[in-house]
Amino acid sequence: MSNNERTFIAVKPDGVQRGLISNILSRFENRGYKLVGIKMVIPTENLLRQHYAEHVDKPFFPKMLNHMMSGPVLATVWEGKDVVKQGRAILGATNPLNSAPGTIRGDYAVDLGRNVAHGSDSVASAEREINLWFKKEELVDYQLSQLSWIYE
């Protein structure tokens, strides 16, 4: 299969607390992407500082850090054709007010600081984020039985 890649998608504490896990996961499953890693974690400050390294010096970072450490995060890895770009499309714009209805953020979020989910923004970011949140042995390689019904 061409352009097969992996992405990191996290359901943030607000998404977990609001009971949106199954709604968010089903969007990716229904699209035909394969779940290859999943775990519930309460992220440490160190992990979040690495994950959001490009934002550490920005004024909003302390508030975002506190929010992300406020409760459990569902960390997931999805695999499939163009999954990084398509994953971002499924999530919608980072600011929920700019997200179209039918996207996760467009359907379930209002404020930027409570946008329910994170998705990798590039293949390079996805690889870095997956390696931060998951050990290699926590990712599962398997053949999706529906593969021939999803891909030509």
Question: How does pLDDT run across 91-145, given as a tens digit for each residue?
Answer: 999 999 999 999 999 999 999 999 999 999 999 999 999 999 999 999 999 999 9
Assigned domain for 149 exists = no
Q: Looking at residue 21, which CATH number applies to its domain?
A: 3.30.70.141
Complete edge-to-edge strand list for the sheet that includes strand 4-11:
34-41, 73-81, 4-11, 117-119
Residue 147 lies in a domain: no
Tell whether 60 is in a known binding site.
yes
**Is residue 151, in this structure, part of any structural domain at all?**
no
Is 146 part of a structural domain of the chain?
Answer: no
Domain enclosing residue 60, as ranges: 6-139
Residue 38's pLDDT is what?
98
Name the catalytic one among 51, 55, 67, 118. Answer: 118
Question: Averaged over 55-62, what is the pLDDT?
Answer: 96
Render pLDDT for 10-51 as a digit per residue (tens, 0 to 9): 999 999 999 999 999 999 999 999 999 999 999 999 999 999
- What percentage of the chain carries pLDDT values higher than 90? 95
Question: Is 67 one of the catalytic residues?
Answer: no
* Residue 103 covered by a domain: yes
Residue 73: which residues within 8 A CB-CB, separation 6 or more? 10, 11, 12, 13, 16, 40, 41, 42, 43
In a domain, 13, yes or no: yes
- Looking from the CA of 110 toward its CB, the CA atoms found within 13 Å total 0
Token pair recorded at residue 1: 């299969």
Residue 12 labeled ligand binder: yes
- Percentage of the chain exceeding pLDDT 70: 98
pLDDT interval class at 4 (50, 70, 90): confident
Residue 136 labeled ligand binder = no
Q: What is the pLDDT of residues 69-96, one digit of tens each?
A: 999 999 999 999 999 999 999 999 999 9
* Residues contacting 46, CB < 8 A, separation 6+: none
Number of domains in the chain: 1
Task: Say whether pLDDT at 56 is over 60.
Answer: yes
Q: Is the pLDDT of residue 2 over 50?
A: no
pTM here is 0.95
Residue with tokens 């519930």: 40
With respect to residue 18, please indicate whether it lies within any of the assigned structural domains. yes
In a domain, 152, yes or no: no
> Mean pLDDT over residues 37-66, rounded?
97
Angle at 79 between CA 5 and CA 68, to 5 degrees: 100
